[in-house]
Chain A
Amino acid sequence: MAKPAKVKIHKLPTGVRGLDDILGGGIPEFSFNIIAGSPGCGKTTLAHQIVFANATQQKPALYFTVLGESVMKMLRYQQQFSFFDESRLGKDIRFINLSDVVLEKDLNAVLEEIIKQVKAVNPGIVVVDSFRTVVRRAMSGAGEAEMQSFIHRLAQFLTNWEATTFLVGEYDEAEIRDNPLFTMVDGIIWLSQVAERNSVLRKLQIIKLRGQASVPGLHTIRISADGLQAFSRTLGLTGEKMKLARHRRHSIGIPELDKMLGGGILEGDSLLVAGPSGTGKSALATQFIAEGIRKGEPGIMAIFEERPQGYTQRAGTFGLDLKAAIQKGTLETLYLRPLDLSVDETMQEILDAIKRIGAKRLVIDSLVGFEMALAPGFRADFRESLYRMIGALTGAGITILNTVEVEDTFTELAFSHYAISFLTDDIIRFRYVEIDGQLRKVMVVVKMRGGNHSKDIREYVITNKGVVVIHPRRTDYQGLITGIPQRTGPRRAQETEAAPEPKATK
């Protein structure tokens, strides 16, 4: 005989983008939860989003307000959010003010009033905002045992009445250990905000959730016109399908460089182009994206330093029409420069754009600019988050070209000031060298994880076609990678005054 089936716990959507993933699918039905945190973290907004996402005429939401924020103010401010639909008030969503009962009577009367209203309305969702106020007021005339008994009876009644409950309150983290409320609830959603220099970071943590696995740790949240949005530390990518086979090679749009790379970049590789300012990293990135578009592979350019207009203009001088691709929807440029971005929400923007146009190629120009755009508090997490995003995207078959600015020194060939080689499959290094009294540019493929590559150090120029590799490798110099090579062969005949490259015009 087959074993009887385990109980299936239905999960309710929160209406908060990203939060259901963090919760492991949503809020467990009939659970008794607390939304806690300091003032201004978004507790009430979160409760409203849950209410609007779940309330129906058959199973309405009852929102009990107690002393804290007045309903008039609540309605005044909450209606500014896009999720707020006033046509649902009074039917799907009902506000009940418990202030008078709390002020004038005891805990039993509060419980009786809640029971009376719940029995009359038969709600699917119950919110008590602020529960802290109920407790504070009640504790002035009741002992701890009476308080615990009240919470116990309330939880028991609401769960048996098939309601999913949210108690909203201002609490300190120190209270989690001593306050019996936190032991009794099924779920604890903790919101916090921390000031870091001039930026304020809002975070969310699922401290406890009975019955299902949530994503541990602190997740960034942002409050916008759409309400709360949560950015999971896993970026919601844990379920993405991984593409294991990597046989296709993508042309970078520069035939000689493709040859150096053994035929192009392997699909799903992360390529790092490192070099000092002015060596053509962005030009190469533009050519990489343009080549993809030419081959029917949509692309995303996440730009953190230059303006998108500059990008399209430069591409135009190379004969690459990015504007047409943008209009056609095969290319999106994301210009991300605000100084208080969180790394996760930036990455979410990139992921959204990738999904929107089905991108196969992604440029991040540059990692230094990306890090600068983040709020100071997020910079510490930069490498970790980048690692997660690059790992997940390349695993899904998206080919990434990252640029990073490095200073040329004459004693070493640094690839980046980050220890990020673990993020990249392939590395191309650009650098300046002094040759025959001129500052020239050379490139070398340093690493290709998926195959063999040319070991040649090749000189290149930036022309009206973009980056163009010129000359076979030089055998008349030694020490090119130091930037100050030594001549070992005969001097080539050349005009002294002419510049070796026609400069691209803007």
Chain B
Amino acid sequence: MSRANPHMRHFAKRLIVYETMENKSSATKPPAAFHVCEKLHAHMATFMGNAGFRALLARALVLATTEVPWLSAVQVKADGALEGLEELHTQLNPDELFEGGMVVLAQLLGLLVAFIGERLTFRLVSEVWPKFSLDEMESENRGNNENRGKNEKTK
């Protein structure tokens, strides 16, 4: 089951854009989404261990591959880093690379939300990127919840 719903995709896109701006780096070489994953890895491995993060990222990658087939060339290394990107740079255009990275990140964030909930996931993200504004995500989330509530009432 895909965890990359539109809400998580939007979240992932915003994080990638933020990370790109922060580091003034290219959004594609290697994809900034993978930078985001790396930063999350460094932070989360402290409390969930390398193996824990590696398992989570591997699951996100498998889920993302069903949607973006070229990701099958990407692997999660024993230390939790992603490998196999170098060759893909020559074969894919920047938009494809961005999309693939974004889907992996959206799946990863979606998995986190499924396990520990949105509030804790947002908290983890804000610990890594303290200046990244989560207000939009939270208000969007509130809106989604309200709509969900309304829909349930009308059922």
A contacts, CB < 8 Å to B = 65, 70-73, 75-76, 79, 86-87, 89-90, 94-97, 99-100
Contacts and interface: CB of A to CB of B under 8 A. Distances in A.
Contacts of A75: 115-116, 120
B49 A100 contact: yes
Nearest to A89: B123
Contacts, number: 50
A70 B52 contact: yes
Interface stretch (B8-16, B40-48, B81-89): B40-48
Interface in B52-100: 52, 56
B127 interface: yes
B47 A95 contact: yes
A99 B115 contact: no
B51 A100 contact: yes
B153 interface: no
Interface of B: 45-52, 56, 115-117, 119-120, 123-124, 127
Contact of B116 (A65, A72, A99, A100): A72
A107 B154 CA distance: 60
Contact of A97 (B49, B115, B116, B120): B49
B47 A94 contact: yes
A217 B67 CA distance: 60
Nearest to B46: A96
Contact of B115 (A76, A86, A87, A89): A76
A73 B119 CA distance: 15
Given A71-B52, A72-B115, A97-B52, A89 B120 contact: yes
Contacts of B115: 72-73, 75-76
Contact of B52 (A72, A79, A86, A87): A72
Given A72-B116, A76-B116, A79-B116, A87 B123 contact: yes
20 contacts: A65-B47, A71-B48, A72-B52, A72-B56, A72-B115, A73-B115, A76-B115, A86-B123, A90-B127, A95-B46, A96-B46, A96-B47, A97-B46, A97-B47, A97-B52, A99-B49, A99-B51, A99-B52, A100-B50, A100-B51
B146 to A, nearest CB: 21
Contacts of A97: 45-49, 52
Nearest to A99: B49
Contacts of A95: 46-48
Contacts of A71: 47-49, 52
A482 B61 CA distance: 85
- Most chain A beta-carbon contacts within 10 A, residue among B48, B56, B117: B48
B101 to A, nearest CB: 23
B120 A79 contact: yes
B103 to A, nearest CB: 22
A309 to B, nearest CB: 30
A93 to B, nearest CB: 10
A73 B120 CA distance: 13
B47 A86 contact: no
A110 to B, nearest CB: 14
**Among all A-B residue pairs, the 4 with the closest Cβ atoms:** A95-B47, A97-B49, A99-B49, A75-B116
A97 B124 CA distance: 16
Contacts of A86: 117, 119-120, 123
Nearest to A117: B46
A245 B2 CA distance: 73
Contacts of A79: 116-117, 120
Contacts of B117: 76, 79, 86
A238 B115 CA distance: 45
Contacts of A90: 123-124, 127
Nearest to B43: A90
B56 to A, nearest CB: 8
Contacts of B47: 65, 71, 94-97
A90 B115 CA distance: 18
Given A86-B117, A96-B47, 19 more contacts: A70-B52, A71-B48, A71-B49, A72-B116, A73-B115, A79-B116, A79-B117, A86-B120, A87-B123, A89-B120, A89-B123, A90-B127, A94-B47, A95-B46, A95-B48, A97-B45, A97-B46, A97-B49, A100-B49
Contacts of B52: 70-72, 97, 99
A76 to B, nearest CB: 5
Nearest to A70: B52
B38 to A, nearest CB: 18
A90 B46 CA distance: 11
A97 B50 CA distance: 9
A112 to B, nearest CB: 16
A64 B119 CA distance: 22
Nearest to B127: A90
A87 B134 CA distance: 14
Contacts of B51: 99-100
B68 to A, nearest CB: 25
Contacts of A96: 46-47
Contacts of B45: 97
Contacts of B123: 86-87, 89-90
A373 to B, nearest CB: 36
Contacts of A94: 47
A57 to B, nearest CB: 14
Contacts of B46: 95-97
A70 B50 contact: no
B135 to A, nearest CB: 15
